[in-house]
Structure 1
Amino acid sequence: RSDEFEAKLRGKTYQEILAEGGGILRSVEAVRKADEDTLLANLMSHLDVMLEHGTTTVEVKSGYGLDTETELRMLRVIGRADEQHPVDVIPTFMGAHAVPQGMDTDEYVDEVCEEQIPAVAEQGIATFCDVFCEEGVFSVEQSRRILKVGRDHGLTPKVHAEELAHIGGTKLAAEIGATSADHLLYSTEEDVDALIDASVVPVLLPGTAFGLGEEYADARMMLDRDAPVAIATDFNPNCHSHSMGFAQSLACVGMRMTPAEALRASTTNAAAALDLPARHGTLRQGAPADIAILDAPSFRHVSYQYGTNVVETVFKAGERVHG
């Protein structure tokens, strides 16, 4: 969707592009037309690039099918990639990513709850259920219903919250006991306190703010409250960056995090955002030995050398998988 990147530079908003059938809906059309092997080949190539940049575990969400058949196909592809690629792939069901053309929102929420989630649970691949709780997409009430049904079917809740406006998605994440709340560009101090009290990991996505030309999330406010801030790339057609190193650079420059805070947010805290055991995302005895060796004097160069990949060698579970 590189043409949409250019359209945004000319002044079109994310919502305007979506209203014209672009954005998520355009990707949905392409994914529905693609066969499983094509989707797998695309995903494997993206994982290759991520591995080269030091990523050893990644969450991959569905959400570009918006119907039962295609959502299940995407999750099958995610499962196959996890089996075939050195990178560990954590699958998340996100049928509530947008409302498909020709459907009313409440009608589509009914489909997600009554048809998609039971089918996803029966398939047995997805770990999490996520929802785009956002103005003009899914309301807090609709999101709550979807996440509760997902939880009843064994899917752990996650929430896309406060990305484009403040509507209450962060407090919903706290209320429902989500593992993480993502984006949080418009979250308040009260919202963050609620996340901390509920042990919800705030996941910040500075690449999204960078790509949209929006204000960054207030990481400093969260860190000053001892929130376990995580960061991620948010790699998707609207935020086309595979590099966690670049995400760390943006976290430092755009959100005033230190290099050490950005590194911790990309490792230990990121593992917590996926409900992984505490030894993940660490370098210590008993940890899985997922290790990135840098061609650089110190860890600070991961964020300092923005635009440059300083990862030389990658080990996965103690075995060299790159370099």
Structure 2
Amino acid sequence: MWDRLLIDCNIATMDPAVAGPFGAIENGAIGIQDGRIVRVGKRTELAGHQAKSVERLHGAWVTPGLIDCHTHLVFGGNRAHEFEQRLEGASYEEIAAAGGGIVSTVRATRTASAEALAEVALPRLRALMQGGVTTIEIKSGYGLDVETELKMLQAAKALGASERVRIETTLLALHALPPEFRENRDEFVALATGGLLPAAASRGLATAVDAFCEGIGFTPDEVEALFQAAREHGLKIKLHAEQLSNLHGAALAARYGALSADHLEHLDEAGAIAMAEAGMVAVLLPGAFYALKETKKPPVDLLRRHNVPMAVATDSNPGTSPVLSPTLMLSMACTLFGLTPEEALAGMTVHGAKALGLEDEIGTVSAGKAADLCVWRIGRPAELAYWIGLPGPELRIVAGANA
């Protein structure tokens, strides 16, 4: 006997093996046992199965739980005052010179305890959960020293222990150069690769590493040193690449078998080919594009042409993407970047799972996968991207239980 049987529902399975747009099954049913999906199909196909709980969804649409595969959710303070200053005409350089920008976030993050960081991040996490997120990646990167980076990862882990959501932690070891190392970049890179990364790996605080490969961030050579250390310690690899210029970071990440390259506004065809050959995911971040008032869009047609899967994420962070709505990102991915509604939803489900290396566990409504689901009171799946800032689902299910 199954634990749950959901009936009288339409299912956007997002499973490529199911023919048709969204992998849709109309008038479907979903069997759940021990937190996993055991059967998906037409309602008539599952009619003979017994379940402890049979729940009629009255024609609602069921999708995989949304996956936010790129966030910076844990940090101290906020930068709303800088938003006001920019609107009043202050430049980023002027704000930074006055002690603002990432330095202000680093300062606030360093002075906060792990408990305080988890506490202030909790409302942000819950907002994303209410929007339909069942899995979220959280990066460090605002500590810029060993103690604080580990503290951020501990806070992220604590959030996962307290809330019904899956959390994947990423060590953003090379995010920005701390002020105290301004005259000695090599020493900081050595600290990140030889001190910070091994400490995070040995304590099981991160499953992946990340870096900001950019003119205002870190060079390809510096990033490669981090990737070599990650390989030695068994950590997966992700990369902020080609956001503001083309340093060929995506191709570098591909050589190291990275899960994803993220942003990618300046990606060229060689980079797209390298990503395709490596089986990487392109993570598109419309919130940052919008907040920074960028004009150069990621090359969506190029990614399509080379069959590079496209994920969509919030990039939730205090400076350049203060976003707390996953459905808004679905809408922006379509209106700003030209994705179809089906591509956008795939970006926060099946391709978001692949960007985290979790495609065998989550991302589609398929037998054998975790029963992470969202139930939406909509008439068709395209509405998830059509409505701007659509409120979240009427029901979230994580590992088979209402959340």
TM band (smaller chain): over 0.9
Instruction: Say if 2:126 is the partner of 1:44.
Output: no
Rounded to whole Å, the distance in 2 between the matches of 1:14 and 1:271 is 34
Where do 1:168-317 residues align within 5 Å? 168-215=248-295, 216-238=297-319, 239-317=321-399
Rounded to whole Å, the distance in 2 between the matches of 1:186 and 1:19 is 28
Q: Provide the residue aligned with 1:93 in structure 2.
A: 171
> Tell me, which stretches of 5 or more residues in structure 1 are unaligned?
none
Measured against aligned partners, the alpha-carbon deviations of 1:163-201 in whole angstroms (never above 9, x if no partner) come to 111112111111121111111011012211110011111
Q: Provide the residue aligned with 1:82 in structure 2.
A: 160
Give the secondary structure class of the aligned counterpart of 1:181: strand
One of 188, 198, 201 as aligned partner of 1:121: 201
Measured against aligned partners, the alpha-carbon deviations of 1:240-271 in whole angstroms (never above 9, x if no partner) come to 11211111111100111110110001100000
**Higher percent of residues as strand:** 2
Contact 1:206 1:233 in 2 (8 A): yes
Measured against aligned partners, the alpha-carbon deviations of 1:294-316 in whole angstroms (never above 9, x if no partner) come to 12212111111112315221111
Contact 1:206 1:217 in 2 (8 A): no
Q: Provide the residue aligned with 1:109 in structure 2.
A: 189
Highest RCO, 1 vs 2 (Cα 8 Å, sep ≥ 6): 2
Rounded to whole Å, the distance in 1 between the matches of 2:377 and 2:352 is 23
Contact 2:350 2:359 in 1 (8 A): no
Which range moves more in the overlay, 52-61 or 304-313?
Answer: 304-313
Instruction: Give the fraction of aligned pairs with identical amino acids, expressed as a percent.
Output: 37
Where do 1:128-167 residues align within 5 Å? 128-167=208-247
**Higher percent of residues as helix:** 1
Contact 2:311 2:352 in 1 (8 A): yes
How big is the shift at 1:79?
1.4
Change (3 A) 1:12 1:201: farther
Contact 2:237 2:259 in 1 (8 A): yes
Change (3 A) 1:223 1:15: farther
Give the secondary structure class of the aligned counterpart of 2:170: strand
Contact 2:130 2:392 in 1 (8 A): no
Aligned residues: 321
Change (3 A) 1:89 1:14: farther
Radius of gyration: which is bigger? 2
One of 96, 106, 116 as aligned partner of 1:28: 106
Which amino acid counterpart does residue 274 of structure 1 have in structure 2?
Answer: L
Contact 1:302 1:310 in 2 (8 A): no
> Tell me, which stretches of 5 or more residues in structure 2 are unaligned?
1-78
Change (3 A) 1:217 1:15: farther
Change (3 A) 1:173 1:7: farther
How big is the shift at 1:12?
5.3
Rounded to whole Å, the distance in 2 between the matches of 1:16 and 1:55 is 36
Give the secondary structure class of the aligned counterpart of 2:262: strand
Which amino acid counterpart does residue 65 of structure 1 have in structure 2?
Answer: G
Which amino acid counterpart does residue 154 of structure 2 have in structure 1?
Answer: R
Which amino acid counterpart does residue 202 of structure 1 have in structure 2?
Answer: A
Rounded to whole Å, the distance in 2 between the matches of 1:87 and 1:230 is 19
Which amino acid counterpart does residue 232 of structure 1 have in structure 2?
Answer: A
Backbone CA RMSD of aligned residues: 1.6
Contact 1:82 1:89 in 2 (8 A): yes
Change (3 A) 1:159 1:119: same
How big is the shift at 1:220?
2.8
How big is the shift at 1:4?
2.2
Rounded to whole Å, the distance in 1 between the matches of 2:167 and 2:342 is 25
Rounded to whole Å, the distance in 2 between the matches of 1:279 and 1:122 is 24
Change (3 A) 1:78 1:50: same
Rounded to whole Å, the distance in 2 between the matches of 1:136 and 1:80 is 32
Change (3 A) 1:200 1:13: farther
Rounded to whole Å, the distance in 2 between the matches of 1:52 and 1:31 is 26
Rounded to whole Å, the distance in 1 between the matches of 2:238 and 2:92 is 22
Rounded to whole Å, the distance in 2 between the matches of 1:168 and 1:21 is 31
